[in-house]
């Protein structure tokens, strides 16, 4: 059975595989391509047009002639049937000449969107471009910024059915070899049907049980480059606009790329605000519940009386009230993400009215609880990573439960729980709380406090052996 018959048998009724027979003198050429991923224009202009001139020529070895003269940078001679199938599915056009020789020419259709603005990692200053779903474009966005021969890539094709192109990107000389090898080993061990998005890889690369994310995904090429220059490793996945940064530390979720484009003193202030927001996001509802149920003696009487008067008509205990509000907020947030943007305004108004005015008027929820949950929710949104936001949500629930049973004592138990979890967490065998635990005073220059670029002279010693920047 020849390749053509074998292929026709394999694809059965699949109708986007196009077969075209061309006879030139004594030679018979079968042109095969997959219509849905290959570009018809490219095939017409660079293959069929060239072949149409062949009858005037008298070539003895047609395969060699086509290999040399067809205009295409990526043209390959194939030997076996499996490679032929793979090439077809990678948008190559295959020419089977006299049922023996096979040539594959890249005729990929551009299915990806253009480079656009970052969607969830917004910044005020700095570059606006973001990664897209195309591997080479993403790599190009990095190479455009780091023009160095030491920027290395290692490519893998993962997923039994998807054969998704996954690349490890690092800078040789900055990044420690051991880290790259560890990640390679982890990628090689992945055995899965499909890698649809880079988030699939997170599940395999993240061995920590912590709720806090230990791998950060970014859509910003500038942040990716900053990470590379720090000695970190990037993983680019084809068809995913999110590039993974490994390893990731807890403090990384308090940093944004435009932190490096503004005055250091302003950034130190903003990072301090982010830290407060993180604490408020987790503990504010719990503190309110502790005050109203166990520790009313801990606040001035005027505030206490204000709380008391606001809760007069509320039929639920503070704990139930908080859970109702937080669950309502989560429903609103989820519906806001899922529904089409044209209906977003209606839902926002409805949600705002129901959660705000109407719930208070009906005496179901006290105004102070709305304020508490709103501040807590908004504070939680300061994190740009959705996984970090989700982890905050779980710790918020945990601290609320602990506070409702034990009061302030419960909140301190919650703090101990979070600190021990964070201390126990590792990202690619590196301590997640670094540079705070273990403490490194030099690294505090870019921790919660930011010194100016001149001050950040040293690279993170646990990521790089090349310690001094600029050398």
Partner 1 sequence: MKKYLLLLPILFITGCTSYIELNDLAIINAIGIESIENEYHLTASIVDTKDIETNDVKTIIYETKGTSINKIIDDLSLTLNKKIYISHLDLLLINESIKTKEFEEITNFFLNNNESREDFLVIYTNDIKKVLENTKLKEINDLIEINQNETSKSIYTTMHDIINNYYLKNDIYLTNIEIDDKVKILGLKKFKSNKYETIESNDTLFINYILNNIKSYKYSLECSNNNYLYLNILKSNINELNNKYLITNEIKVISNECNLTKDEINEVFNNYLKENLSRFTNKEINIKNTIRGLNEN
Q: Determine which residue in the list 46, 92, 307, 395 makes contact with partner 1, applying CB under 8 A.
A: 307
Q: Determine which residue in the list 89, 194, 279, 305 makes contact with partner 1, applying CB under 8 A.
A: 305
Stretch of 20-28, 127-135, 189-197, 288-296 contacting partner 1, by CB under 8 A: 288-296
Stretch of 27-35, 125-133, 401-409, 436-444 contacting partner 1, by CB under 8 A: 401-409
Stretch of 180-188, 222-230, 409-417, 455-463 contacting partner 1, by CB under 8 A: 409-417
Q: Report the first-to-last Cα separation within the chain, whole angstroms.
A: 61
Q: Determine which residue in the list 1, 124, 149, 312 makes contact with partner 1, applying CB under 8 A.
A: 312
**Which of 218, 244, 186, 249 lies closest to 437, judged by CA?**
249
Q: Determine which residue in the list 65, 261, 406, 458 makes contact with partner 1, applying CB under 8 A.
A: 406
Please work out, in degrees rounded to the nearest 5, the angle formed at the alpha carbon of residue 221 by the alpha carbons of 92 and 205.
Answer: 75
Q: Is 315 in the site for partner 1 (CB under 8 A)?
A: no
Q: C-alpha 318: how far from its chain's center?
A: 37
- The residue (of 373 and 402) whose beta carbon lies closer to partner 1 is 402
**Which of 2, 157, 18 lies closest to 80, judged by CA?**
2
Least gap, CB of 226 to partner 1 (angstroms):
39
Query: Per-residue string for binding with partner 1, 239-278, x by CB under 8 A?
Result: ----------------------------------------
- The residue (of 321 and 428) whose beta carbon lies closer to partner 1 is 321
Largest CA distance in the chain: 102
Least gap, CB of 416 to partner 1 (angstroms):
10
Least gap, CB of 112 to partner 1 (angstroms):
49
Residues 193-212 binding partner 1 (CB under 8 A) are none
Q: Determine which residue in the list 14, 155, 177, 308 makes contact with partner 1, applying CB under 8 A.
A: 308
Q: Is 51 in the site for partner 1 (CB under 8 A)?
A: no
Least gap, CB of 316 to partner 1 (angstroms):
10
Stretch of 99-107, 384-392, 402-410, 430-438 contacting partner 1, by CB under 8 A: 402-410
Q: Is 127 in the site for partner 1 (CB under 8 A)?
A: no
Stretch of 177-185, 259-267, 294-302, 450-458 contacting partner 1, by CB under 8 A: 294-302
- The residue (of 90 and 421) whose beta carbon lies closer to partner 1 is 421
Stretch of 2-10, 142-150, 274-282, 289-297 contacting partner 1, by CB under 8 A: 289-297
Q: Is 294 in the site for partner 1 (CB under 8 A)?
A: yes
Per-residue HEC secondary structure of the chain comes to CCHHHHHHHHHCCCCCEEEEEEEECCEEEEEEEECCCECHHHHHHHHHHHHHCHHHCCCCCHHHHHHHHCCCCCEEEECCHHHHHHHHHCCEEEEEECCCEEEEEECECCCCCCCCECCCCCCCCCCCECCCCCHHHHHHHHHCCCCCCCEEEEEEEECCCCCEEEEEEEEECCECHHHHHHHHHHHHCCCCCCCCCHHHHHHHHCCCCCCCCCCEEECCHHHHHHHHHHCCEEEEECCCCCEEEECCCHHHHHCCHHHHCCCHHHHHHHHHHHHHHHHHHHHHHHHHHHHHHCCHHHCCHHHHHHHHHHCCCCCCCHHHHHHHHHHHHHHHHHHHHHCCHHHHHHHHHHHHHHHHHHHHHCCCCCHHHHHHHHHHHHHHCCCCCHHHHHHHHHHHHHHHHHHHHHCHHHHHHHHHHHHHHHHHCEECCEECCCCECCECCHHHHECCCECCCCCCCECCCCCECCCECCC
**Which of 283, 281, 288, 287 lies closest to 389, judged by CA?**
281
Q: C-alpha 394: how far from its chain's center?
A: 21
Q: Is 371 in the site for partner 1 (CB under 8 A)?
A: no
Least gap, CB of 396 to partner 1 (angstroms):
20
- The residue (of 312 and 337) whose beta carbon lies closer to partner 1 is 312
Q: Is 126 in the site for partner 1 (CB under 8 A)?
A: no
Q: Is 405 in the site for partner 1 (CB under 8 A)?
A: yes
- The residue (of 167 and 407) whose beta carbon lies closer to partner 1 is 407
Least gap, CB of 298 to partner 1 (angstroms):
9
Q: Determine which residue in the list 318, 359, 382, 392 makes contact with partner 1, applying CB under 8 A.
A: 318
Which residues contribute to the site for partner 1 (CB under 8 A)?
291-294, 296-297, 301-302, 304-309, 311-312, 317-318, 405-407, 409-410, 413
């Amino acid at each position: 059975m020849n390749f053509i018959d074998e292929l026709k048998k394999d694809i059965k009724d699949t109708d986007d595989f196009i077969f075209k027979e061309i006879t030139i003198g004594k030679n018979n050429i079968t042109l095969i391509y997959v219509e849905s991923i290959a570009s018809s224009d490219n095939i017409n202009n660079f293959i069929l047009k060239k072949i149409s001139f062949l009858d005037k020529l008298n070539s003895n070895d047609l395969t060699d002639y086509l290999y040399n003269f067809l205009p295409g940078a990526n043209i390959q001679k194939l030997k076996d049937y499996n490679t032929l199938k793979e090439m077809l599915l990678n948008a190559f056009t295959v020419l089977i000449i006299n049922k023996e020789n096979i040539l594959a020419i890249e005729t990929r259709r551009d299915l990806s969107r253009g480079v656009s603005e970052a969607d969830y990692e917004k910044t005020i200053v700095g570059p606006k471009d973001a990664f897209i779903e195309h591997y080479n474009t993403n790599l190009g966005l990095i190479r455009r910024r780091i023009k160095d021969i030491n920027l290395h890539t290692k490519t893998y094709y993962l997923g039994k059915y998807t054969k998704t192109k996954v690349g490890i990107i690092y800078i040789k000389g900055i990044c420690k070899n051991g880290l790259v090898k560890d990640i390679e080993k982890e990628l090689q061990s992945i055995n899965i049907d499909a890698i649809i998005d880079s988030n699939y890889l997170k599940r395999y690369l993240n061995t920590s049980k912590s709720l806090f994310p230990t791998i950060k995904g970014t859509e910003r090429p500038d942040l990716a480059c900053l990470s590379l220059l720090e000695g970190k490793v990037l993983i680019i996945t084809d068809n995913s606009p999110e590039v993974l940064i490994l390893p990731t530390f807890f403090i990384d979720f308090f940093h944004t790329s435009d932190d490096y484009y503004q005055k250091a003193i302003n950034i130190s202030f903003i990072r301090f605000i982010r830290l407060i927001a993180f604490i408020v996001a987790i503990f504010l509802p719990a503190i309110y519940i502790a005050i109203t149920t166990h520790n009313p003696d801990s606040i001035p009487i005027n505030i206490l009386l204000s709380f008391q008067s606001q809760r007069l008509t509320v039929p639920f205990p503070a704990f139930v009230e908080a859970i109702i509000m937080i669950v309502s907020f989560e429903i609103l947030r989820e519906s806001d993400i899922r529904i089409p943007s044209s209906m977003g305004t209606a839902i926002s108004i409805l949600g705002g009215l129901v959660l705000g005015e109407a719930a208070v008027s009906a005496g179901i929820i006290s105004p102070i609880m709305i304020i508490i949950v709103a501040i807590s929710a908004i504070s939680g949104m300061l994190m740009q990573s959705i996984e970090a936001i989700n982890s905050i949500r779980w710790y918020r629930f945990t601290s609320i439960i602990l506070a409702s049973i034990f009061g302030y004592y419960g909140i301190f138990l919650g703090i101990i729980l979070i600190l021990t979890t964070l201390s126990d967490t590792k990202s690619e065998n590196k301590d997640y709380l670094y540079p705070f635990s273990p403490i490194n005073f030099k690294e505090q220059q870019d921790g919660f406090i930011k010194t100016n670029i001149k001050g950040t002279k040293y690279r993170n010693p646990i990521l790089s052996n090349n310690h001094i920047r600029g050398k």
